[in-house]
Amino acid sequence: MLEADCTCDQMAHPCDVHDCMGGEPDPVDRTAHQGAPAPAPADSGEISDGYHTFRELYAHRAALWAVLAAYVPGAWKSRQHDVGSDTPMPDGYFVVGANLFGAGPVTYHLPIRYWEACPGRVLDHALAYDGHTSNDVVYRLWGHVAETGKARGRQG
């Protein structure tokens, strides 16, 4: 079931992820593979929804971040997590972030090949992580859209 089809009134925001039947959010129908694990793809970047592969979507994600960072004051990037983190940076990645007007901080890990293309102040260590989840990031991004639209006098 897609969240857009939900009629259970449990969603506080259109970006919330949940399962109307309870349990973990899971858009994959596992009933077709009951009793046997699905075969692992040879290259996970080639998994597709019929329109885009994971590889394409991650390339879009990096490009969209670069566009956003070019317009958001205070965008930053770092090759290290925040000073208090005990989690090492994944090999071949860096972290980017910004505090979005009216919404809060968002961060992404991006492949190091995008380092030069991503605008932002270079930090020795990332700013302190506030514990946000992927769902929080989506919610904050849409909140930023709503707040910046209000600030500019746009009607939605």
Q: Are 126 and 95 in contact (CB under 8 A)?
A: yes
Residue 55 CB neighbours (<10 A): 14
Per-residue pLDDT of the chain (156 residues; tens, 9 = 90+): 333 444 444 444 434 443 443 444 434 333 443 455 556 567 888 889 889 999 999 999 999 999 999 999 999 999 999 998 989 999 999 999 999 988 999 999 999 999 999 999 999 999 999 999 999 999 999 999 998 887 777 655
Q: What is the structure's pLDDT at 42?
A: 76
* Rounded-to-integer distance, Cα 96 and Cα 80, Å: 10
Q: What is the structure's pLDDT at 13?
A: 41
Q: What is the structure's pLDDT at 39?
A: 62
Q: What is the structure's pLDDT at 23?
A: 40
* Rounded-to-integer distance, Cα 23 and Cα 139, Å: 21
Phi then psi for 154, rounded to 5 degrees? -80, 145
Q: What is the structure's pLDDT at 91?
A: 95
Contacts 24+ apart (CB under 8 A), 75-78: 75/119, 75/120, 75/121, 76/120, 76/121, 76/122, 76/123, 76/126, 76/127, 77/115, 77/118, 77/120, 77/121, 77/122, 77/123, 78/122, 78/123, 78/124, 78/125, 78/126
Contacts 24+ apart (CB under 8 A), 143-149: 143/100, 143/102, 143/103, 143/104, 144/100, 144/101, 144/102, 144/103, 146/102, 147/100, 147/101, 147/102, 147/103, 148/101, 148/102
Q: What is the structure's pLDDT at 25?
A: 40
Q: In the structure encoding, which two tokens stand for residue 88, read together?
A: 């090492």
Q: What is the three-class DSSP state of 69? A: helix
